Structure 1
Amino acid sequence: MTDRVIDRPRSRGFLFLDSHPAGCRQLVNDMWEAVTAPTAPPPADGPVALVIGSSAGYGLAATLAGLKRAGIRGIGVCFEKPASARRTATAGWYRTAATAELARGAGRDVVFLNGDAFSDGLKDRVAEVLAERFGGRLDYLIYSVAAPRRTDPETGTTYASVLRPIGAASRTRTLAFDDAGAPEVKEVQTEPAAGDDLAQTVAVMGGADWERWIEQLAGRGLLADGFATAALSYIGSSLTEAIYRKGTIGAAKAHLEATARTLDKRLSELVGGRAVTSVNGAAVTQSSTAIPGIALYVGLLRGVLGARLVPPTAQLSDLWDQLTGVRPLALDEEGRIRLDTWELTDEVQAAVGERWRAATTENIGQLADLDWFHGEVHRLYGFAVPGVDYAAPVATEAPWPGQSA
């Protein structure tokens, strides 16, 4: 077991090269405490759920909210790396270990599987665990996957997703921080998609893999009567739409939503089930910080809303309440659950837009909540978490949940 003092992160922009085990654990515990417990305790034999992408962002929030609010059992799937001689484990590795501890403490049987969610091999492993450990039944599937590449298990072709506008280059404002943490507002230009960029991005981030999960589990007879599945999505503001919703990633999200409509019809006929997309509100995640303009937008959004900005755990608690029937599904005209209405009101968007146009490097500290945003980025990797002693040595090696040290 290797103990190290990790008092400050090594980073390249918003990409951190190390994570802090104790900080990641405390962050997960804080997220758990933020989830409101249900009025009545969930039954011990709660619904069986599969969360694909359970270690980060909205997938982590879905796992924690599902455990505490809906009393789920089941499987979490993610793709994380252990510690090495040169680096700590990925933040998601430590977050998964902390989530497993909370699940055990709550008396919930949850298995965490580490591997490529796009592969048929991992799908087979999930099916085996469902059959052997959970009575061969699955009640819910949450799909929350953001990845740069996907290999098609049938053809062996590897596709790569890109963040590009469609049709013309896009200039947008964005927020960056230097090594000392000083902010800079600048403009960046992103060239338009070319060649097969659009098709490749849809192949990675669209609904193909979600549909394959459902097909394979259904083919093995593992879907319970009334089975429901939700894929997590985002629409966002007109301020970021050129690079996001109207760009290559937006096309992939449109494909995901079209897949939901296809799956909804199929599941209704097969098991009386449902398939929906859940459109979530803005948040600071490892995926979102890579998108030009999103950092500036989210910082300004927090500046406008303050504590009224709805965190992922609260949004996913709402999703579980709707999926489990605590309250009815609230669908828009496209059949999507909308958890982003607090973000997209005319009043909020007008206020953010005004700040967006006025923002400069000199005044950004008055317009955006930079301390919050900078802290949120660090907390993704277990840094800047209140209550953690970063001067103390910490063990960087940790076994995967269910495995011996």
Structure 2
Amino acid sequence: MSERVITPRNRGFLFLDSHPAGCARLVNDMWQAVAARPAAALDDDAPVALIIGSSSGYGLAATVAGLARAGIRGIGVSFEKAPTERRTGTAGWYRTAATAELAEDAGREMHFLNGDAFSDEMKEQVADLVKRRFGRLDHLIYSVAAPRRTDPETGTTFSSSLKPIGATARTRTLVFDEDGQPDVREVSTEPADEDEIAQTIAVMGGTDWARWVSHLADRGLLADGFSTAALSYIGSPLTADIYREGTIGAAKAHLEQTARELDARLRDLCGGRAVTSVNGAAVTQSSTAIPGIALYTGLLRGVLGDRMVSPVDQLAELWDQLTGVQPLVTDDEGRVRLDTWELAPEVQEAVADRWQAATTETITDLADLEWFRDSVRQLYGFSAPGVDYPAPVETEVPWPAAR
């Protein structure tokens, strides 16, 4: 037993510890928010799914929505740190444990593997498990946001960059001082060079996604009608210089081109499909690191309030399309668009007005900062409703047992 009181300690948007009970409560709340399909649809021949990046952000939403709504069984892969004597485990460690418990309670066979999704060793481990437990794979969701990737063929390690392309980008951003007071600042980011662009594409583009599909296809594990979706984001013109038109955007363009190539290949191979799913804005551990995104998201919430569509609700819609409950609808670029609520012209116009008016003095009136702060804290298991934070909590939570 290793019980202790865990208090939030943070450096900006990065927290040093995570709260196991808070993480479990938030995963449970996500599960409860999903409207399940009729029990008759969740039979013994339920779809088999692989979620790469299953422990956080939209990957976690895909896992929970898939289990709770589509009744999937299968495998989740993530890369998390275990608790130690000095530190708690990562939030994703505790979220995975909570997800596994909910899946077991619901009678869903779901396995969780912890390791480097970029490695060929993990691909082989997953393929072996699919073959042994299920015999086929119906769906693959790819949701990996990592700062670096080692190419398993060459051993070269690539690092991603958050930079504009072609010219210095000046954008407004939101930070909080040591007392938690908001500060709106203007920041400048120098443009990336060609090597930084190439490295970001190597990390965050479609190369590893394609390797996963190829590996599973080579093992003969793709079911007839197999579908795969890589989760992506386009975002607002307000953040385009540093995001969609920057190094990340170049990687996203590569991801979309990979989807088109995989789609053509899978149609011939197994009557399958490959798409990118463009999701709407959310507070995630990845998004808070991008200049301007925190300010934009807080203002968006100020405009929309509860009309913002949560990640788990968006991914429930994606599962409906992937499993045939609804038609799979794509735009001219082959992308499923789950972000139309965010990019509606009237919404973007209202956010742009607030963006121009935002200063340190006015930001409290323009953005929903209480929601934003709680959302950031919830990434680490804090600010979860109903959790007794002054009470000691067990931190030595085991990883879900292998079957």
User: Deviations 1:125-164 (Å, cap 9, x if unpaired)?
Assistant: 0001001111x20000000000000000000000000000
In 1, Cα distance between equivalents of 2:207 and 2:247? 16
SS in 2 for 1:22: helix
- In the alignment, what sits opposite 1:150? 149
In 2, Cα distance between equivalents of 1:394 and 1:180? 27
- In the alignment, what sits opposite 1:5? 5
State whether residues 232 and 279 of structure 1, in contact with CA within 8 Å, keep that contact through their aligned partners in structure 2. Answer: yes
**Is 1:391 the equivalent of 2:386?**
no
In 1, Cα distance between equivalents of 2:101 and 2:39? 22
| Amino acid aligned to 2:348 | Q
In 2, Cα distance between equivalents of 1:392 and 1:216? 47
- In the alignment, what sits opposite 1:65? 65
In 1, Cα distance between equivalents of 2:348 and 2:63? 30
- In the alignment, what sits opposite 1:91? 91
| Amino acid aligned to 2:57 | G
Which segments of 5 or more consecutive residues in structure 1 lack a partner in the other structure?
Answer: none
State whether residues 206 and 255 of structure 1, in contact with CA within 8 Å, keep that contact through their aligned partners in structure 2. Answer: yes
In 1, Cα distance between equivalents of 2:86 and 2:67? 34
Give the root-mean-square deviation of aligned CA atoms.
1.0
- In the alignment, what sits opposite 1:78? 78
After the TM superposition, which residues 352-363 of structure 1 pair with which residues of structure 2 at under 5 Å, given as runs? 352-363=351-362
State whether residues 44 and 71 of structure 1, in contact with CA within 8 Å, keep that contact through their aligned partners in structure 2. Answer: no
| Amino acid aligned to 1:126 | V
| Amino acid aligned to 1:320 | W
After the TM superposition, which residues 58-207 of structure 1 pair with which residues of structure 2 at under 5 Å, given as runs? 58-134=58-134, 136-207=135-206
**Is 1:324 the equivalent of 2:323?**
yes
In 2, Cα distance between equivalents of 1:303 and 1:365? 10
After the TM superposition, which residues 237-316 of structure 1 pair with which residues of structure 2 at under 5 Å, given as runs? 237-316=236-315
| Amino acid aligned to 2:342 | E
Number of residues of Structure 1 aligned to a counterpart in Structure 2: 402
After the TM superposition, which residues 20-39 of structure 1 pair with which residues of structure 2 at under 5 Å, given as runs? 20-39=19-38
Which segments of 5 or more consecutive residues in structure 2 lack a partner in the other structure?
Answer: none
In 1, Cα distance between equivalents of 2:179 and 2:20? 23
User: Deviations 1:180-235 (Å, cap 9, x if unpaired)?
Assistant: 22111111111110240000000000000000000000000000010000000000
State whether residues 32 and 68 of structure 1, in contact with CA within 8 Å, keep that contact through their aligned partners in structure 2. Answer: yes
State whether residues 259 and 276 of structure 2, in contact with CA within 8 Å, keep that contact through their aligned partners in structure 1. Answer: yes
In 2, Cα distance between equivalents of 1:249 and 1:155? 23
SS in 1 for 2:158: strand
| Amino acid aligned to 2:62 | A
TM-aligned CA deviation for residue 37 of structure 1:
1.2
In 2, Cα distance between equivalents of 1:162 and 1:66? 31
User: What's the % identity of the aligned pairs?
Assistant: 72
- In the alignment, what sits opposite 2:380? 381
TM-aligned CA deviation for residue 39 of structure 1:
3.7
State whether residues 240 and 246 of structure 2, in contact with CA within 8 Å, keep that contact through their aligned partners in structure 1. Answer: yes
Change (3 A) 1:335 1:195: closer
| Amino acid aligned to 2:133 | R
SS in 1 for 2:238: coil
State whether residues 148 and 159 of structure 2, in contact with CA within 8 Å, keep that contact through their aligned partners in structure 1. Answer: yes
In 1, Cα distance between equivalents of 2:43 and 2:369? 42
State whether residues 20 and 383 of structure 1, in contact with CA within 8 Å, keep that contact through their aligned partners in structure 2. Answer: yes
User: Deviations 1:280-307 (Å, cap 9, x if unpaired)?
Assistant: 0000000000000000000000000000
In 1, Cα distance between equivalents of 2:381 and 2:45? 33
| Amino acid aligned to 1:84 | T
SS in 2 for 1:76: strand
| Amino acid aligned to 2:277 | S
- In the alignment, what sits opposite 2:366? 367
- In the alignment, what sits opposite 2:335? 336
SS in 2 for 1:239: helix
TM-score (norm 2): 0.99
User: Deviations 1:290-336 (Å, cap 9, x if unpaired)?
Assistant: 00000000000000000000000110000000000101011111110
| Amino acid aligned to 2:372 | F
TM-score (norm 1): 0.98
TM-aligned CA deviation for residue 84 of structure 1:
1.1
State whether residues 173 and 187 of structure 2, in contact with CA within 8 Å, keep that contact through their aligned partners in structure 1. Answer: yes
SS in 2 for 1:343: helix
- In the alignment, what sits opposite 1:228? 227
- In the alignment, what sits opposite 2:399? 400
| Amino acid aligned to 2:132 | E
SS in 2 for 1:301: helix
| Amino acid aligned to 1:370 | L
| Amino acid aligned to 1:127 | A
State whether residues 141 and 229 of structure 1, in contact with CA within 8 Å, keep that contact through their aligned partners in structure 2. Answer: yes
In 2, Cα distance between equivalents of 1:177 and 1:276? 37
State whether residues 35 and 65 of structure 1, in contact with CA within 8 Å, keep that contact through their aligned partners in structure 2. Answer: yes
In 2, Cα distance between equivalents of 1:191 and 1:15? 24
TM-aligned CA deviation for residue 403 of structure 1:
5.7
SS in 1 for 2:223: strand
- In the alignment, what sits opposite 1:55? 55
| Amino acid aligned to 2:122 | L
| Amino acid aligned to 1:219 | D
- In the alignment, what sits opposite 2:13? 14
| Amino acid aligned to 1:67 | L
State whether residues 111 and 402 of structure 2, in contact with CA within 8 Å, keep that contact through their aligned partners in structure 1. Answer: no
TM-aligned CA deviation for residue 119 of structure 1:
0.1
